[in-house]
């Protein structure tokens, strides 16, 4: 389990509250592909959902705080090397079309999470 210490901007959180899914790409050193995590909000049940990378299972949370708290406990990979680094990025291409250009150019759409290193 990796403590990614994800930090979202206010714009990103507002986008999540407005039903816009946020897809995160977790890049681990040595991994062939990025692990994908997706966060979204369902307005009718007023619950947040987290889709995990490994089994594709969806976890449901009653509040955004619980969702964000759960992110810290996400298992990205079953096998974690003794040392390495991980980098998390917001996948701007997964955003709705009108938001892609601001995501490309604006700082509000840059994930504030710094690269995470361990073992070294």
Query: Does 42 sit near another protein (CB under 8 A)?
Result: yes
Residues whose CB falls within 8 Å of the CB of residue 104, separated by 6 or more in sequence, listed in order: 92
Number of residues that bind another protein (CB under 8 A): 33
CA 102 to chain centroid, in Å, comes to 18
Query: Does 27 sit near another protein (CB under 8 A)?
Result: no
Query: Does 81 sit near another protein (CB under 8 A)?
Result: no
Among 54, 93, 110, 117, binds another protein (CB under 8 A): 93
Sign of the CA dihedral with 93 first, then 39, 73, and 6 last = positive
Among 34, 92, 111, 116, binds another protein (CB under 8 A): 92
Q: What is the DSSP letter of 83?
A: S
Part of the chain binding another protein (CB under 8 A), chosen from 29-37, 76-84, 96-104, 112-120? 96-104
Number of helices (H), then strands (E), in the chain:
3, 6
Alpha helices in 1-120 (DSSP H): 10-17, 64-71, 97-105
CB nearer to another protein: give 83 or 108.
Answer: 108
First-to-last C-alpha distance (Å) of the chain: 17
Query: Does 114 sit near another protein (CB under 8 A)?
Result: no
**Binding stretches for another protein (CB under 8 A):** 14-15, 17-20, 42-47, 57-62, 66, 70, 73, 92-102, 104
């Amino acid at each position: 389990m990796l403590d990614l210490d994800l930090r979202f901007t206010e714009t990103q959180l507002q986008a999540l509250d407005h039903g816009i899914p946020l897809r995160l790409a977790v890049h681990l050193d040595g991994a062939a592909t990025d692990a994908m995590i997706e966060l979204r909000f369902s307005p009718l049940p007023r619950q947040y959902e987290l889709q995990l990378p490994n089994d594709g299972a969806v976890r449901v949370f009653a509040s955004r705080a619980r969702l964000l708290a759960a992110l810290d406990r996400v298992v990205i990979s079953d096998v974690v090397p003794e040392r390495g680094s991980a980098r998390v990025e917001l996948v701007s291409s997964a955003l709705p079309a009108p938001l892609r250009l601001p995501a490309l150019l604006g700082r509000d759409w840059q994930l504030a999470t710094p690269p995470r290193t361990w073992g070294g």
